A and B are shown apart, each in its own frame.
Chain A
Amino acid sequence: MAQEEKIDSIGLLDENELAYFVAHANELEHPREMVIDVLRAIQKNHGWVPDEGVELTATILRLEPIEVEEVATFYDKIFRRPVGRYPIHVCDSICCWSNGGQELAEQFKQQLGIEFGQTTEDGLFTLLPSCCLGVCGCAPAVMIHQQHYGPLSREDVGELINRLRREASA
């Protein structure tokens, strides 16, 4: 049967992940409940979810691509367009706002030379506004790859960027 055919993950998932998801999809009564898990795994490996990632998710979970897309495009933290290696989510909700969140955002824009929604030319950083990150006590804060940084001062911004640059070239 076609179903049993081996799925090619085209490098978006590694062998173990793929095997795990396929096994669970066969086991679960509602494989669809894994849609976010698969999308997040693809994003973790690839940085963002390309069209092929949506199709791959659909194949694994036996859905139509549009059914996956309906979900993928709903969530802010699933990227359906390329982002830099370090997407920086700058919180712009009330607690960060009241603690200089706007100035912090300006600082990032200046230091990276990009606007919100853009990626630096070296492909390292994408700047994104985000709603409350859940660390209101540490405002103003940013999140990079599910790691929080805050409260951040002007000086911290440069330091953080430099650290990530070093990490990237290491």
Chain B
Amino acid sequence: MPTLTIDNQQVTVEDGTTVLEAAEQLGIVIPHFCYHKALGAVGACRMCAVTVHEGTFKGLKMSCLIKVEEGMVVTTDDAKSVVFRERVSEWLMLNHPHDCPVCDEGGECQLQEMTIASGHGVRRYEGQKRTYNNQQLGPFIAQEMNRCIQCYRCVRTYKDYCGGKDFGVMGSRNRVFFGRFKDGPLESDFSGNIVDACPTGVFTDKTFRFKSRFWDLQEAPSICPHCSLGCSTVPAGRYGELQRVRSSVNEKVNGFFICDRGRFGSSYANHPERPRQASRGQWKLTRDEALVQLDSKVRELIRQHGPEAVLLLGSNRASLETNWMLQRWAEKIGCRAPLLSAHLPRHLAAQVAAFDLADRLASLEKIRQSDLVVLLGVDPLAEAPMLAVALRQAVKKGGQVLAYDPRSIELPCVFEQQSMSPLQLLELLDQDKSPESGRLLDLLKKAESPVLVPGGDLLGAGGLLRVQKLAVVASNQTRSCLVHPVLAGPNSFGCGLLSLPEQDDLLTQLESGRIKMLVCVETDPLLEAPNGERFAKALSRLEELAVLDYLPTLISAHTKLFIPTSAPVEAAGTFVNNEGRQQLFVPVMEPRLPIAVTGSGSHPPREFLPEAPGSDPRPAWQLLQQLLGEEVELAQLRERMKTAVPRLIDFDKLQPGGVFCRVSDADERSCYADEISAQPAGSLQLVVSPARYGSDLLSRFSEKLKPRFTDACLQLHPQDAAERGLDDGMKVALKTDCGEYYLTLRCVEGVATGCAVVENGPAFPQLVPGGKLGFCQVAAGGRHD
């Protein structure tokens, strides 16, 4: 731990720290461009020069490259360094078009900041500037190469860090060009990160083009609601429109970057059909009227038919606060405890994560550093995209990634893939049943920091419990074998944590006929529960259906009583991510109709109203508070919740936008036991996988993501197809317990034999991932619908 002096201040830092990082610890920001904490130092821009007075190498040196030494003396503000940095600025600005007035980066541009910080103010160079033709890079990213300062950060982010393959650096001398081989949409699922990485306006968010200046945006630290990882983000809104999302730093979770689903999947908040007003059928209601009707109807039915008559339904899209308040409301009105998920198997899996795995959960950071990660029935790019980027970092550090899956999986790194049907996967986990088990256990035992990554959807609760046993066997006194379970939604873990051990199935309940009224809070069982068709039938037998939501889902549109809630970006709340990290988000903006809609884009609006149009939605937990007749501050509500659920972290220890805390471990609980149903002869195992885009409802309702939506298809191993006399591209009939569907066949080598894979997404919402092991029949036969 050497001690050194920077600008007359002493600091003691870890061995191997660079002078730039050491200065940062003192609060001294040394200007830089090419250095980036995630990408490392490459010494290209030369902006970070400082003067070393005492040390092995004296003189003007690049602070991002030199390592600290005991007794080193460095100045950052001496004349030599200051002049040199000014020159670097001058050089970098040589070709710059000075088009800041029309540049989207304006106001949040590192080049602007550094140019001012360096003192370079007047252009002296009067020679020719080099100019470029730009490329069309698809719907998400705009390119303006004339603004480039060649820090190489885009290519280091896109290619080196995230593993994208279709982006690079071409040309040389003062004519290097960053782009694709040819025009065309960027293919990586992490393409948006070059917007954040670029220190100037070369790569900007095309969906946000010319919408706002940075300083006019309302921003707040937030948690991405698009999968169970809970990456840190900063969404930004203006004039009632959620205009963009950028990544934020959480070194335990996402690190510095996010995926395109999280970045470009935010426009659900501005969906043109988003219901913003309370209603009963055709009748518009005020929020208060609607709440009164809800309350009285619930009470009336309980009075008439007993506590069984009313069922409250929470969800993994809803915050911890909302789900907990729902439980409290149930207590108050005396109905049975709410179900916190319409999808029981997914919920049971989340419970295993929240209870049985709680003492051995691994963060993404642990994965990035692991020497052996084993994926068990999880397709990262579809279920938890940033996990894929974390795996790449592990591999880059020399780690190994092994994937057992029925699907053909892609990852942005080298890995070993073994095709395995869901049944074979369970056998693998049961140890000694499969020859591969022995090898797997050996590898795990030999590894220094092994992490198992099971997919909750594919393995279910039973599978996760087997993973837990495997992890125990693979652990020893010096280190534990950790687990990173991938779950269904942003608050699956939270819902698992809150709910009681015994759970039953919503559908069975509804079909029993005892239930007269269902209250859905931020969930649509028709889209989010398995077997939507049976659901639809069961729902029609209800006397009353109430929905509180912010999405224009099927059920929102057809419900009797509807009350609008605010979207996650408009509310404060808490999500607990898949590894038990309790993370807060705060409202970015108020709910209301965007000016673009109400004022046809002009501002100020022509009509002056006391309240902005479309501003009715309230956070669901607030509505529930009103129903409970309480009115306490969020902080107090959280305090009560913490007392009621002791495993939660003290809320005053947390900062919004990602934290370094994980809920505490659980006590032993009685374990869940599952049975594996026997496979009917001639059938295939059915694997329903989420599509990369549009499987989670938020991205499905995000207009911006439409270009990434894919067509529906059914995938079989060519051998299985041949046995059935089927050819690639044929129309086939898929017979399942939930119904019969007609899909186009694709023969894929990587699919495990004996399996049929379909993707749940906008093009095929009928089958939902997760659930008991299912079987199906596939035969030729198209029907023209």
**Chains A and B touch (C-beta atoms under 8 A apart):** yes
Q: Which residues of A contact B (CB under 8 A)?
A: 51, 54, 64-67, 69-70, 73-74
Q: Residue of B at shortest CB range from A2?
A: B749
Residues of A within 8 A of B171 (CB): 73-74
Cα–Cα, bound, A54→B181 (Å) = 9
Taking the complex as formed, is B180 at the interface, i.e. its CB lies under 8 A from any CB of chain A?
yes
Chain B nearest CB, measured from A51 CB (Å): 7
Q: Is the CB of B182 within 8 A of A70?
A: no
Q: Is the CB of A51 within 8 A of B170?
A: no
Q: Residue of A at shortest CB range from B179?
A: A66
Q: Is the CB of A66 within 8 A of B172?
A: no
Q: Is the CB of A51 within 8 A of B182?
A: yes
Cα–Cα, bound, A56→B174 (Å) = 28
Residues of B within 8 A of A69 (CB): 168, 170, 181
Q: Is the CB of A70 within 8 A of B166?
A: no
In the complex, 8 of the A-B residue pairs with CB atoms within 8 angstroms, ordered by the A residue number, are A51-B182, A65-B181, A66-B165, A70-B168, A73-B170, A73-B171, A74-B170, A74-B172
Residues of A within 8 A of B167 (CB): 66
Q: Is the CB of A73 within 8 A of B166?
A: no
Taking the complex as formed, is B730 at the interface, i.e. its CB lies under 8 A from any CB of chain A?
no
Q: Residue of B at shortest CB range from A1?
A: B749
Cα–Cα, bound, A73→B166 (Å) = 16
Q: Is the CB of A70 within 8 A of B170?
A: yes
**Which of B170, B177, B181 is most buried by chain A, counting CB atoms within 10 A of its CB?**
B181
Chain A nearest CB, measured from B236 CB (Å): 32
Q: Residue of A at shortest CB range from B165?
A: A64
Chain A nearest CB, measured from B306 CB (Å): 64
Taking the complex as formed, is B423 at the interface, i.e. its CB lies under 8 A from any CB of chain A?
no
Cα–Cα, bound, A73→B172 (Å) = 8
Q: Which residues of B contact A (CB under 8 A)?
A: 165-172, 177, 180-182
Chain A nearest CB, measured from B421 CB (Å): 22
Q: Residue of B at shortest CB range from A54?
A: B181
Cα–Cα, bound, A65→B167 (Å) = 10
Q: Is the CB of B172 within 8 A of A67?
A: no
Chain B nearest CB, measured from A60 CB (Å): 16
Q: Residue of B at shortest CB range from A64?
A: B165
Known: A64-B181, A66-B168, A74-B171. 16 other contacts (CB 8 A): A51-B181, A51-B182, A54-B181, A64-B166, A66-B165, A66-B166, A66-B167, A66-B181, A69-B168, A69-B181, A70-B168, A70-B170, A73-B170, A73-B171, A73-B172, A73-B177
Cα–Cα, bound, A61→B182 (Å) = 19
Chain A nearest CB, measured from B155 CB (Å): 9
Cα–Cα, bound, A74→B170 (Å) = 7
Residues of B within 8 A of A54 (CB): 181
Chain B nearest CB, measured from A104 CB (Å): 24
Cα–Cα, bound, A74→B182 (Å) = 17
Residues of B within 8 A of A67 (CB): 168
Cα–Cα, bound, A69→B182 (Å) = 10
Cα–Cα, bound, A51→B167 (Å) = 16
Q: Residue of B at shortest CB range from A51?
A: B182
Q: Residue of A at shortest CB range from B175?
A: A73
Cα–Cα, bound, A66→B165 (Å) = 8
Cα–Cα, bound, A73→B181 (Å) = 11
Chain B nearest CB, measured from A136 CB (Å): 22
Cα–Cα, bound, A25→B182 (Å) = 25
Chain A nearest CB, measured from B362 CB (Å): 32
Q: Is the CB of A70 within 8 A of B165?
A: no
Residues of B within 8 A of A70 (CB): 168-170
Cα–Cα, bound, A69→B172 (Å) = 12
Chain A nearest CB, measured from B747 CB (Å): 13
Residues of A within 8 A of B166 (CB): 64, 66
Cα–Cα, bound, A70→B168 (Å) = 7
Residues of A within 8 A of B168 (CB): 66-67, 69-70
**Which of A66, A70, A74 is most buried by chain B, counting CB atoms within 10 A of its CB?**
A66
Cα–Cα, bound, A74→B168 (Å) = 12
Chain A nearest CB, measured from B169 CB (Å): 6
Cα–Cα, bound, A65→B168 (Å) = 10
Chain B nearest CB, measured from A3 CB (Å): 12
Q: Residue of A at shortest CB range from B166?
A: A66
Q: Residue of B at shortest CB range from A70?
A: B168
Chain A nearest CB, measured from B110 CB (Å): 25
Q: Residue of A at shortest CB range from B182?
A: A51
Chain A nearest CB, measured from B157 CB (Å): 15
Chain A nearest CB, measured from B198 CB (Å): 18
Residues of B within 8 A of A73 (CB): 170-172, 177
Residues of B within 8 A of A51 (CB): 181-182
Cα–Cα, bound, A106→B204 (Å) = 45
Chain A nearest CB, measured from B156 CB (Å): 13
Residues of A within 8 A of B169 (CB): 70
Cα–Cα, bound, A54→B170 (Å) = 13
Nearest 8 A/B pairs, CB to CB? A73-B170, A66-B168, A65-B181, A66-B181, A70-B168, A74-B172, A64-B165, A73-B171
Chain A nearest CB, measured from B403 CB (Å): 19
Q: Residue of B at shortest CB range from A74?
A: B172
Residues of B within 8 A of A65 (CB): 181
Residues of A within 8 A of B177 (CB): 73
Residues of A within 8 A of B181 (CB): 51, 54, 64-66, 69
Chain A nearest CB, measured from B690 CB (Å): 27
Q: Residue of A at shortest CB range from B177?
A: A73
Cα–Cα, bound, A66→B168 (Å) = 6
Q: Residue of A at shortest CB range from B169?
A: A70
Cα–Cα, bound, A51→B182 (Å) = 9
Q: Residue of B at shortest CB range from A63?
A: B165
Residues of A within 8 A of B172 (CB): 73-74
Cα–Cα, bound, A70→B171 (Å) = 7
Residues of B within 8 A of A66 (CB): 165-168, 170, 180-181
Cα–Cα, bound, A79→B509 (Å) = 72
Residues of A within 8 A of B165 (CB): 64, 66
Chain A nearest CB, measured from B650 CB (Å): 50
Cα–Cα, bound, A64→B158 (Å) = 14
Cα–Cα, bound, A163→B172 (Å) = 35
Cα–Cα, bound, A55→B171 (Å) = 17
Cα–Cα, bound, A66→B171 (Å) = 12
Cα–Cα, bound, A69→B168 (Å) = 9
Cα–Cα, bound, A70→B180 (Å) = 10
Chain A nearest CB, measured from B417 CB (Å): 15
**Which of B165, B168, B177 is most buried by chain A, counting CB atoms within 10 A of its CB?**
B168
